Structure 1
């Protein structure tokens, strides 16, 4: 996971910036083709270097999600973007719910079968995009400058942080993603060590997060958007995540699975609505020819958190299993406070 995340950290801002210059369609197709090759190599891997190579290729071409966000930002009005991003979140939730179930069934035919099926569907997705997908970013709205700096990831991140409107958002966002990276890396082991859960029950708890994501986006988010501002919804999501880390911490101390379940519910709901509204605010804070840079840079920062978070969580978990969620709780308090200051 860390190899993939590190590769995505380096490539995401480059792919995002290139999509501002060349358009979303070619970058999306290249990303899908790269991912299908990465899946294929990972499935064929009979040595450690091939497994790593597959994951590295996947990470280096991991521009699908950020490019799709930029694509939909191009074709929707600013006041409609959060709603559209919510629909995207619902689809992700459905995939998170059904993916492990389908993968488990396919694995009965062989451990590599789910990976090969994933490679096939990703390739077919690229073919569909090449055949039917229209470009969303008109030439007149594209970034005009193209130089060697566009393929330097750290230069692109520097350019991102020159946009003053996104700095407070990304600072709060990094704290949220670092907390999430820490939690997700110990989730499986924590539930086994604390409650002696079997693998199937752990899988069901993961599926619960996906179900909550879908339900939140389809039924709760539309109602929230009618009653509250995007800033207020972001605060609601962050507060729900604060409660999640608190419940999960207490569940590890008191060894009460019911508190862990409450924590999962709060996390699934909070993360779902936070992510959607947060991406909408980021998108609306920049111009059309900066959408790729901002979405790609955001994905890069998220990937960095998935590298750092597990490293910190592993050390904390060795000291006490509940410490990673204490760390997450403190990060969420910081994020909530920093967001309210902006």
Structure 2
């Protein structure tokens, strides 16, 4: 919390010898933050469990991705057109559930602690996959997708847990590891799901259920509570609703960083919703080639998140890491959009994945400006931004793509959606330079 006028901080112009250079550069962003409480015992084992929780959640989601369309189509007697529309509805509902329930899960974790929310999510997600594996009709499968959107909303709580047990100067690296967990699930999930789906389209759901339930049982024994009782805050629907949770991001210069995240998350939707159809239209790539290229995206996400984010932030600070990420992402999207043969797509992937530096660095800055009692609400708000992007991005980019090809094209440029995504990241780059600027007081040290 901010210092009161009656109790001003000591006027000491000598830098703290224990403060790293990135902390000095970002001290304007942490001046109002409340120092984190001491990490609980078993922090390393708990952080490892959270890493595997996120990885397994993403693995499970990735496993069902290649078989869900086939399962939907089987309920519709092979009607591909209807299946495509229904798949779009499934995706929209999933994003909507994330948007509405992520802030609730985050605020509940601020009230009752992280441990019960994380474990309930593990068990709930496991039972939901059982429901989807058993589903005898399309409406049951649809209900399962709604529940999976709700139960997977615990990701913000996992992020808040990592903030609880990690010193603030190391949070970018911690969030980078969780980003690597996302990438790991992104790489392995579809591959495993495709192999299992060839045996039986419902088998990936059963395996995903088993992974979630086993992880929940394991967590009962190894996961301590990370949020002390003195740092808990009362639950409030005013703060837990999607709009109310976002109000937290208006304070202390956080809105600029939140805007960067929102622009980046929306831009990321072009990869999720246009990339496959774009590759088929422009390069006539097979499913195997598309899948391999997406696997490479995941591999670089893991490498950057697990091995590079920590030294990059230590050397350049969060601001420098975000700048590199946004420039690299804009360059990568531009290369994909301008590639006539597909070669630049492969070359652009390592540049595109430099965005892996941006997400954890931005979340680290936001976390350092938020008190321990509001970490859950903060991460819920951040995941709410992902939900907004999931509601806006698919229709936005597919519309741009539809108007850049074919007879009714406004401008015949198939790469237009990727150029728009690159432009959004460049706007984010400008906002970054303003939102993370170093105050004059620090420059005079």
Please confirm whether the aligned pair reaches a TM-score higher than 0.5, indicating the same fold: yes
Gapped runs of 5+ residues in structure 2? 1-90, 405-413, 436-445
The count of aligned residue pairs is 336
Cα deviation code 1:313-342 (max 9, x no counterpart): 111111113221122122112111112111
The TM-score, its normalising length taken from structure 2, stands at: 0.72
What is the CA-CA distance between 1:282 and the residue it aligns to?
1.7
Check whether the contact 1:183–1:324 (CA below 8 A) recurs between aligned residues. no
The partner residue of 2:416 within 304, 323, 329 is 323
In structure 1, which of residues 89, 95, 98 is the aligned counterpart of residue 188 of structure 2? 98
Residues 144-155 of structure 1 aligned to structure 2 (within 5 Å): 145-149=234-238, 151-155=240-244
- Equivalent residues of 2:329, 2:425 under 8 A apart: yes
Aligned partners of 2:433 and 2:136: how far apart in 1? 50
Q: Which residue of the partner structure matches residue 231 of structure 1?
A: 319
C-alpha distance after superposition, 1:119-175 (max 9, x if no partner): 1111221222223211000001111x23443553333333x2343332111111101
- The Cα offsets for residues 195-243 of structure 1, whole Å up to 9 and x where unpaired, read as 1110011111111011101211233223313321111011100100010
1: CA distance between counterparts of 2:239 and 2:320?
36
**Aligned ranges for residues 10-21 of structure 1 at < 5 Å?**
10-21=100-111
Structure 2 CA distance for aligned equivalents of residues 263 and 184 of structure 1 = 16
Note the residue ranges of structure 1 that are not aligned, 5 or more in a row.
Answer: none
| Bigger helix fraction | 1
Residue number in structure 2 paired with 1:285: 369
Q: Does 1:261 align with 2:346?
A: yes
Deviations along 1:23-56, one digit per CA (max 9) or x if unpaired, are: 0011111222222233223323343322221111
| Pairwise CA distance, 1:104 | 2.0
Distance (whole Å) between structure 2 residues aligned to residue 38 and residue 247 of structure 1: 40
- Which stretch of the first structure deviates more once superposed, 193-202 or 321-330? 321-330
1:91-129 deviations in Å (ceiling 9; x for gaps):
332222222222222223211111211111112212222
For residues 191 and 279 of structure 1, the distance between their equivalents in structure 2, rounded to whole angstroms, comes to 32
Instruction: Verify: 1:335 aligned to 2:428, yes or no.
Output: yes
| Mapping for residues 144-293 of structure 1, pairs under 5 Å | 145-149=234-238, 151-158=240-247, 160-251=248-339, 255-268=340-353, 270-293=354-377
Which residues in structure 2 correspond to 1:70-149 (within 5 Å)?
Answer: 70-143=160-233, 145-149=234-238
Aligned with 1:259: secondary structure?
helix
Structure 1 vs Structure 2 CA RMSD: 1.7
- 2 CA distance for matches of 1:229 and 1:132? 33
The structure with the largest alpha-carbon Rg is 2
- State whether residues 224 and 233 of structure 1, in contact with CA within 8 Å, keep that contact through their aligned partners in structure 2: yes
Q: Deviating runs (4+, > 6 A) in structure 1?
A: none
Distance in 2 separating the partners of 1:148 and 1:173: 24
Match of 1:310 in 2: 394
Q: 1:174 to 1:110 in 2, by over 3 A?
A: same
Query: Counterpart of 2:201 in 1: which secondary structure?
Result: coil
Q: CA deviation at 1:85?
A: 1.9
- Name the residue aligned to 2:140: 50
Asked if 2 retains the 8 angstrom alpha-carbon contact of 1:11 and 1:62, the reply is no
Give the distance between the partners of 1:293 and 1:212, measured in 2 at CA: 30
Q: Normalized against structure 1, the TM-score is what?
A: 0.93
Task: Please state whether the residue corresponding to 2:200 is helix, strand or coil.
Answer: coil
